Structure 1
Amino acid sequence: MFARILFPTGFDEFAFATLKSLACLKRGGLRDVVLLHVIDTEGLSAVRESGLPVDTDKLESAAKKELAVYEQYLQSEGIGVKSVIGTGPLVATILETAARESVSLIIAGRQKRDVLGEIFVGSTTDRIIRKSGLPVLVAKYHVLTESNGTVTEQFCSDLFRKILYPTDWSACADRAKQAIPLLRNAGASEVIVAHVMEELPPDAEIPSHFMEKRLRDKNLEDLDALRQEFERAGFTVSVRLVSGRPFREINRIATESEVSLIVMGSHGRGLVDGLFWGSVSQRVVEYSEKPVLVVK
């Protein structure tokens, strides 16, 4: 999964630091990084319509200088690198480049969170996950949090140390599970396996106490089987079985357990594979302060 990855960048404030945090993937099999900067024609059209001049040659020259810094770092880490400057609609160009360069993972994401209010994941990242058939790592390198009136900065410098794997027992969740052993050599040592028993809607038929106990026992049995599977792969493992709204419980566990990464499927049971970007995974990506690896 990690042999050749696509790293689109607009040279945002934390883009280079995010790139550096991915270098440990070399131990997990990373050989090449395709760096991509897109000169977004949709954005340029808006600028032109406002009457401002646009010099695409100057934009490309500036991008080459920025990409050279990224190239130098990756080469110093012994990682192969190819730089691409594309021109066209942003998301379409990213997806076309991913297909043309035969990458197995796309890096995307919002890297900064405002403490003044909820900020949804960027529309670019949302569309990449929705339209791509590849796994997408939503990097959230830099996070602002508030505690007791004090704003602090948190930086993810050990991305794969402790993984939260939430499962709803779907085929997509099983595919996400298969990605986790690949992170072992990249530094992953601990896995929390979680399942959320979803709250029933008010008009739903309430199951009997006996049926509820059977369901809970079956979930615990399946969680224990996953625990043993990950332990055989060399991980330290704990399990969580909780009730509530899945995305809220997943993000609560991630924050309270101080995980470094959430690995989950893009959609759950009942959806046609590859066609839908599920509401639970979408909300986890939107609201989580942790990076999320979304597997199709």
Structure 2
Amino acid sequence: MFKRVLIASDLSHVSDAIIGCMDNLKTLEIKEVVLFYALGFKEKDEVSEIVRQQIKPDLERQQELLKKEGFNVTLELANGIPSEEIKRICKEKNISIVVLGSHGSSAFTHQLFRLGGVASEILNSHEKPLLFLRIKGDESGFQAATGNLKEKILFATDFSDISMYAFEYLEELVKDGAKNITLMHVQDKGRISGHLDHKLEEFNHIDNERLMLRKERLERLGATNIEIKIPFGIPAQEIINEAHQGYSLIVMGSQGRGYFANVFIGSVSYKVARNSDVSVLLVPEKFRELN
């Protein structure tokens, strides 16, 4: 399913935790890993070369850890800006998915997400799926809270075209053995309250029918325990609250209904990826290669 993965390392304890849990991700059919680090220099000069030589041993250490897990690993030490270099490497190496670490509800701890606008740039322009692995711990020690990502999956949809692209990935996960799925659509309180309250029952009926069709598709592929949930509230918060119920992975489109490129930083998918207690797979509109 995800044959070639890019791990964006920042040489932190969080990155080590991601690498330490990669054995669990073999259930996603990962065969090859590109271990990536961006120096952040706009131009190659003597300073960037000194930094390159200083950090290379640590990257090679992480590379060896991945090799011991049985992965074919290549090292990509890029000179430029992280968001730009990630896009370039993804195209050149035909990357299937980009893996990053997230830590708790306060913030992303990965260095890429401590660089201000870089977070917005990556999330707003990514063309390949992003997998945010949930990392637990503090500076004294980190570990990934990731077992089998296919154990119990929450699929959140707004019925947009982008969420349908994400559903295709959910189907692949079911083909690969996922059995326990919750299909969830949140009736947006901000859109409905005040002038469409009288339509809520009708909306629920229509959306339940939509989810039932998706349930039937997943059952034909082998899923055996599928729930449908249509709560009323604030979408991001409802998804995050539901995620507390023992899920291993959230799958959703990375932009949905009402998306505008310049305001993605405040979108539902960004909020869920930032604040969820479990790992999140975000699938962008442009990416539909499943093999």
TM-score (norm: length of structure 2): 0.81
**Greater CA deviation, 197-206 or 25-34?**
197-206
1:158 paired residue number: 147
| Secondary structure, counterpart of 2:134 in structure 1 | coil
| Secondary structure, counterpart of 2:186 in structure 1 | strand
Gaps in structure 1 of 5+ consecutive residues: 46-53, 145-152
The 1-side partners of 2:108 and 2:282 are apart by: 16
Is 1:138 aligned to residue 132 of structure 2?
A: yes
2:55 paired residue number: 63
The match for 1:127 among 113, 121, 127 is 121
The answer (yes or no) to whether the contact 2:133–2:144 under 8 Å persists in 1 is no
The answer (yes or no) to whether the contact 1:251–1:287 under 8 Å persists in 2 is yes
| Secondary structure, counterpart of 1:40 in structure 2 | coil
The 2-side partners of 1:119 and 1:34 are apart by: 25
The answer (yes or no) to whether the contact 1:143–1:289 under 8 Å persists in 2 is no
Cα RMSD of the aligned pairs, angstroms, is 3.0
The 2-side partners of 1:276 and 1:31 are apart by: 35
2:214 paired residue number: 226
Aligned in 2, Cα 1:23/1:180: closer, same or farther, shift over 3 Å? farther
Aligned in 2, Cα 1:173/1:288: closer, same or farther, shift over 3 Å? same
Q: How far 1:16 sits from its partner (Å)?
A: 2.1
The match for 2:164 among 162, 165, 174 is 174
The 5 Å alignment of 1:29-108 reads: 29-41=29-41, 55-108=47-100
The 2-side partners of 1:32 and 1:275 are apart by: 34
Aligned in 2, Cα 1:36/1:155: closer, same or farther, shift over 3 Å? closer
Aligned in 2, Cα 1:101/1:156: closer, same or farther, shift over 3 Å? same
The answer (yes or no) to whether the contact 1:262–1:290 under 8 Å persists in 2 is yes
Gaps in structure 2 of 5+ consecutive residues: 285-291
- Structure ID, larger Rg: 1
Q: How far 1:270 sits from its partner (Å)?
A: 4.3
Q: How far 1:130 sits from its partner (Å)?
A: 0.8
The answer (yes or no) to whether the contact 2:248–2:279 under 8 Å persists in 1 is yes
The 2-side partners of 1:176 and 1:69 are apart by: 34
Aligned in 2, Cα 1:222/1:131: closer, same or farther, shift over 3 Å? same
- The residue type equivalent to 1:156 in the other structure is A
Q: How far 1:120 sits from its partner (Å)?
A: 6.2
Q: How far 1:82 sits from its partner (Å)?
A: 0.6
Q: How far 1:291 sits from its partner (Å)?
A: 1.7
TM-score (norm: length of structure 1): 0.80
